[in-house]
Amino acid sequence: MIKVTPDTRLLVLTGAGISAESGLKTFRDSGGLWENHSLEDVCTPEAFARDPRLVWRFYQRRREQAEQAVPNPGHLALARLETWLGGNFSLITQNVDGLHSAAGNTRVIEMHGSLAYCLCTCCGARFPMREVDPGSDLPSCPKCPGVLRPDIVWFGEFPHRMEEIDQLLHSCDVFLVIGTSGVVYPAAGFVMTARYLGAKTIAVNLNPTERNHLIDEFHQGPAGEILPRLVDQWMAG
């Protein structure tokens, strides 16, 4: 078993699997469809340009679902891990639901954005969704004549904070991957980069993935069951 101590620089990557344990469906669960619309109809810049009201309805629905969800034991275990490791802990998530922050994590990089925020398509200003008129099907920017869009990284767009992520991959001792298939880039390349640079790699997932040959220690099963045990073992020394 790979040892993690208070001096270990631990970098975590989470995907849809950990949120699924809180009851949030993934796109794969729905066959890539939403109300008979393909993801290309609601998850691309072209889709927003073509039908912004449809895209807003999709993300409002997702935000409502995320607000009803609560962190599961896997999220809570990662919050305990951050408290224990302090500045040696960093978490990258592909999820946009805010459950890591709700669980108590503060060192979180939301590489695909957040359902809790929106952006102006004109001036680039960022606003909490709570400041947006909930009755509007196409919110406008309070600062300029622009239209607001969800602060979500759509297909074909560049993820947030990639330079910071690259620095963390270069400096971590252990890279822990949770609840992701690891086949969608750029996140798919993270485990390869970390391992190439000398980090030990651990994965927690319901099933083995195509990247398992890059994993030093694999734990098969729900994150909500495995992570609390792992964290307990690490903290006990």
Tokens 């004549």 belong to which residue? 145
Cα 224 to Cα 72: distance, rounded to the nearest angstrom: 6
First to last CA, the chain: 12
Nearest alpha-carbon partner for 56 in 138, 131, 147: 138
C-alpha triplet 82, 157, 16: angle, nearest 5°? 40
DSSP label at 25?
Answer: P
Report whether 89 contacts 82 (CB < 8 A): yes
Annotation marks residue 219 as catalytic: no
Report whether 9 contacts 174 (CB < 8 A): yes
Which residue is catalytic, options 112, 160, 170, 213?
A: 112
3-class DSSP assignment, residue 164: helix
Active-site residues: which are they? Answer: 112
